[in-house]
């Protein structure tokens, strides 16, 4: 749903300014944020706001400090992604991951950023398909447009952008 509001400008009352606010897109951003925060184990507020005190700032700070190692487990369990794949996507060795998990340590910032990338794309898929099961299947099934299984492309930023583009095309009704 799109809401349009017209207000007269203070200097020229005869001209109206039009503002478009796409409530559906705003709702999707809130949903993606909430799903990502839940997957990586971050407490959230009901509505994300911008600025240094907003929840996005909290995610940035958490990723910079390092996500808890268990966040990879949460992402994997939620979307049926094997541990081996997640460890590869995060760019850490299996032994390092097991050690950090057993000692309840955090991932380094780079691995945390990669884990966040996977969670963000998975949450975007769930929001677009409006069904957790469909998103899970889509993420783990070969895609003709991508010529790859979407989850396998999330090890690079370029691959992530490609998967995100295909998801937005699906959202806008473009055959993908």
Q: To the nearest 5 percent, what fractions of the chain are helix, strand and coil? A: 60, 10, 30
This prediction's pTM:
0.75
Give tens-digit pLDDT for 48-74. Answer: 455 565 667 778 888 899 999 999 998
Q: Could you read off the pLDDT of 74-132 as tens digits, one per residue? A: 899 988 889 999 999 999 999 999 999 999 999 999 999 999 999 999 999 999 999 99
Contact 141, 109 (CB under 8 A): no
Task: Inform me whether the pLDDT recorded for 173 exceeds 50.
Answer: yes
Angstrom distance (rounded) from CA 166 to CA 39: 22
For the chain, the domains span 23-171
Inter-residue contact 112 to 132 (CB < 8 Å): no
């Amino acid at each position: 749903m799109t809401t349009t509001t017209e207000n007269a400008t203070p200097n020229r009352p005869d001209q109206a300014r039009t503002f478009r606010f796409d409530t559906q897109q705003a709702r999707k951003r809130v949903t993606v944020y909430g799903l990502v925060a839940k997957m990586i184990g971050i407490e959230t507020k009901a509505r994300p706001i911008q600025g240094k005190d907003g929840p996005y700032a909290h995610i940035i700070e958490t990723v910079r400090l390092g996500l808890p190692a268990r966040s990879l487990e949460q992402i994997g369990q939620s979307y049926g992604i094997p541990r081996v794949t997640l460890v590869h996507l995060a760019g850490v060795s299996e032994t390092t991951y097991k050690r950090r998990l057993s000692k309840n340590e955090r991932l380094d910032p780079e691995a945390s950023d990669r884990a966040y990338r996977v969670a963000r794309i998975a949450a975007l898929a769930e929001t677009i398909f409006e069904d957790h099961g469909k998103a899970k299947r889509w993420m783990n099934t070969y895609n003709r447009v991508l010529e790859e299984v979407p989850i396998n492309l999330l090890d690079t930023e370029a691959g992530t952008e490609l998967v995100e583009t295909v998801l937005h095309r699906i959202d806008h009704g473009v055959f993908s």
